[in-house]
Amino acid sequence: MVKKTIIIDNEAYERLQAVRKENESFSQVIKRIVPKPFDLKAFLKELDKHPMSREACEAIADIVESRRKHF
């Protein structure tokens, strides 16, 4: 396994230490707390595999529009 050295300030270290569980490495803490970046291309590719009907698309558009009006 490749290891990298990073420099963090004391406040960042203390925050990591505060949420660290027993026997958990700092790498494990970071992976648990920080989500993976969203892969839009992969998401859109997956959507292409499951096309929706025109009615379903219109229903979703209606819901989105109604939510915009409430915010």
Q: Which amino acid is at 15?
A: R
Considering the entire predicted model, what is its pTM? 0.57
> Which stretch of DSSP H or E encloses residue 38?
none
Domain boundaries, the chain: 40-70
Chain-centre distance for alpha carbon 26: 19
Q: Is 33:19 a contact under the CB 8 Å cutoff?
A: yes
pLDDT of residue 30: 97
pLDDT of residue 9: 98
Q: Tell me the mean pLDDT per 10 residues along the chain, length 71.
A: 94 98 97 95 92 93 90 72
